[in-house]
Structure 1
Amino acid sequence: MDLTNFEPTRTLPGLLVDRSGREPDTVAMRYSREGVVQSITWRSYANRVRDLALGLAAHGVRRGDRVAVMSSARPEWVFAALAVQSVGGVVIGVYPTNSAAEIEQLLVHSEAVAFLGETATELTKVAAIAARTPSLRLVLGIDDAPPALPEPVTAMTWDALCDDGARHAGENPDRLSELVAAGSLDDAAVLFYTSGSTGAPKGVTHTHRTLQHAIQSFAGLYPDIADRRYDVVGFLPLAHVAPALVLVFTPLLTKLVVTYCRIEAYEDVLRSVRPTSALWPPRFYEKLAGELIARTKSWPWFRRRAYDAAMWVGRRVAERRWSHRRPSVPMRIAYAAALRTVFLPLRATAGLDRLRVAYTASAAMPESVLAIWQIWGLDLRENYGLTETAGCPVAHFGQPFPRPGFIGRVFPDPRFQVKVADDGELLISAPLLFTGYWRNPAETEAVLRDGWFHTGDLVERAPHGDIRLIGRKKDVIITLGGKTINPQPIETRLKESSLIDEAIVVGDARKYLTVLLEPSASTDAPSPDAVVERLRAEVARVNADLARVEQLKDFRVLPRPLDVERGERTANGKIKRTAVVNSFAALIEDMYGANDDAAIADHVRSKPS
Structure 2
Amino acid sequence: MELTDVEPTRTLPGLLLDRASREPDVVALRYARAGSVQTVTWRSYRDRVRELALGLAWRGVRRGDRVAVLSSARPEWVFAALAVQSAGGVVVGVYPTSSPAEIEQVLVHSEAVAFIGETETDLAKVAQIAANTPDLSLVAGIEARPPRLPEGIAGATWDELRSAGEPDARRAADRLAELVAATTLDDPAVLFYTSGSTGAPKGVTHSHRTLHHAIRTVVGLYPESLTQQHDAVGFLPLAHVAPAVLLVFTPLHTRLVVTYCRIEEYREVLRAVRPTALLWPPRFYEKLAAELIERAESWSGLRRRAYQSAMWVGRRAVEQRWSGRRPSVWLRVACAAAVRAVFRPLRARLGMDRLSVSWTASAAIPENVLALWQIWGLDLRENYGLTETGGCPIGHFGRPFPRPGSIGREFPDPRFQVSIADDSEMLIRAPLLFLGYWRDPAETEAVLRDGWFRTGDLVERTADGDLRLVGRTKDVIITRGGKTINPQPIETRLRESRLINEAIVVGDARKYLTVLIEPAADTWPAPMAAERYRAEIERVNADLARVEQLKDFRVLPRPLAVERGERAANGKVKRTAVVNSFAALIDDMYGPNDDRAIADHVRSTPH
Q: Which TM-score band (shorter chain)?
A: over 0.9
Q: What residue is the counterpart of 1:443 in the other structure?
A: 443
Contact kept? 2:166, 2:172, Cα under 8 Å: no
SS in 2 for 1:5: coil
User: Which amino acid letter does the alignment assign opposite residue 3 of structure 1?
Assistant: L
Q: How does 1:108-507 map to 2 (within 5 A)?
A: 108-165=108-165, 167=167, 169=169, 172-195=172-195, 199-507=199-507
> Aligned equivalents of 2:118 and 2:204: distance in 1?
24
Q: How many residues align?
A: 607
Structure 1: 4+ residue segments shifted above 6 A? none
> Aligned equivalents of 1:421 and 1:198: distance in 2?
22
Q: 1:581 aligns with which of 579, 582, 592?
A: 579
How far 1:84 moved relative to its partner? 0.4
> Cα deviations across residues 271-327 of structure 1 (Å, max 9, x unaligned)?
100000000000000011011111112223210110001001111111111101111
Contact kept? 1:51, 1:169, Cα under 8 Å: no
User: Which amino acid letter does the alignment assign opposite residue 527 of structure 2?
Assistant: P
> Aligned equivalents of 2:308 and 2:463: distance in 1?
35
> Cα deviations across residues 259-279 of structure 1 (Å, max 9, x unaligned)?
000000101111100000000
Q: What residue is the counterpart of 1:5 in the other structure?
A: 5
Q: What residue is the counterpart of 1:547 in the other structure?
A: 545
How far 1:608 moved relative to its partner? 1.9
How far 1:501 moved relative to its partner? 1.2
SS in 1 for 2:518: strand
Q: What residue is the counterpart of 1:558 in the other structure?
A: 556
How far 1:195 moved relative to its partner? 3.9
> Cα deviations across residues 525-560 of structure 1 (Å, max 9, x unaligned)?
9x6352x22111110011000000000000111111
User: Which amino acid letter does the alignment assign opposite residue 88 of structure 2?
Assistant: G
SS in 2 for 1:427: strand
Contact kept? 1:195, 1:483, Cα under 8 Å: no
Contact kept? 1:198, 1:490, Cα under 8 Å: no
User: Which amino acid letter does the alignment assign opposite residue 208 of structure 1?
Assistant: H
How far 1:174 moved relative to its partner? 0.7
> Aligned equivalents of 2:397 and 2:23: distance in 1?
30
Contact kept? 2:197, 2:476, Cα under 8 Å: no
Q: How does 1:76-87 map to 2 (within 5 A)?
A: 76-87=76-87
Contact kept? 1:66, 1:113, Cα under 8 Å: yes
When residues 123 and 402 of structure 1 are mapped into structure 2, their CA distance, relative to the original with a 3 A threshold, is same
> Aligned equivalents of 2:420 and 2:328: distance in 1?
38
> Cα deviations across residues 125-184 of structure 1 (Å, max 9, x unaligned)?
111111111111100000111111111110110011101125265654411100000000
Contact kept? 1:71, 1:118, Cα under 8 Å: yes
Contact kept? 1:196, 1:550, Cα under 8 Å: no
Query: Where in structure 1 are there 5+ consecutive unaligned residues?
Result: none
Report the aligned-residue RMSD: 1.3
> Aligned equivalents of 1:194 and 1:310: distance in 2?
43
User: Which amino acid letter does the alignment assign opposite residue 135 of structure 2?
Assistant: S
When residues 105 and 198 of structure 1 are mapped into structure 2, their CA distance, relative to the original with a 3 A threshold, is farther
> Cα deviations across residues 191-218 of structure 1 (Å, max 9, x unaligned)?
0001477822100000000000000011
Contact kept? 1:232, 1:277, Cα under 8 Å: yes
How far 1:40 moved relative to its partner? 0.2
SS in 1 for 2:464: coil
When structure 1 is superposed on structure 2, of 114-123 and 187-196 the one drifting more is 187-196
Contact kept? 1:235, 1:261, Cα under 8 Å: yes
> Cα deviations across residues 85-131 of structure 1 (Å, max 9, x unaligned)?
01111001111111111111111111111111100111111111111
Q: What residue is the counterpart of 2:593 in the other structure?
A: 595
Q: What residue is the counterpart of 1:570 in the other structure?
A: 568
> Cα deviations across residues 199-240 of structure 1 (Å, max 9, x unaligned)?
221000000000000000110111121111110000000010
> Aligned equivalents of 2:255 and 2:338: distance in 1?
32
When residues 519 and 196 of structure 1 are mapped into structure 2, their CA distance, relative to the original with a 3 A threshold, is farther
SS in 1 for 2:57: helix
> Aligned equivalents of 1:31 and 1:355: distance in 2?
20
SS in 2 for 1:491: helix
> Aligned equivalents of 1:98 and 1:440: distance in 2?
22
When structure 1 is superposed on structure 2, of 263-272 and 198-207 the one drifting more is 198-207
Q: What residue is the counterpart of 2:59 in the other structure?
A: 59
Contact kept? 2:429, 2:453, Cα under 8 Å: yes
How far 1:335 moved relative to its partner? 1.0
Contact kept? 1:169, 1:175, Cα under 8 Å: no
Q: What residue is the counterpart of 1:41 in the other structure?
A: 41
> Aligned equivalents of 1:261 and 1:329: distance in 2?
43
SS in 2 for 1:167: coil
User: Which amino acid letter does the alignment assign opposite residue 516 of structure 1?
Assistant: L
> Aligned equivalents of 1:132 and 1:312: distance in 2?
62
When residues 197 and 5 of structure 1 are mapped into structure 2, their CA distance, relative to the original with a 3 A threshold, is closer
When structure 1 is superposed on structure 2, of 396-405 and 496-505 the one drifting more is 496-505
> Aligned equivalents of 2:302 and 2:522: distance in 1?
65
The percentage of counterpart residues that share the same residue type is: 75
How far 1:369 moved relative to its partner? 0.3
How far 1:489 moved relative to its partner? 0.9
User: Which amino acid letter does the alignment assign opposite residue 186 of structure 2?
Assistant: D
> Aligned equivalents of 1:196 and 1:510: distance in 2?
18
Contact kept? 2:99, 2:545, Cα under 8 Å: yes
User: Which amino acid letter does the alignment assign opposite residue 368 of structure 1?
Assistant: N
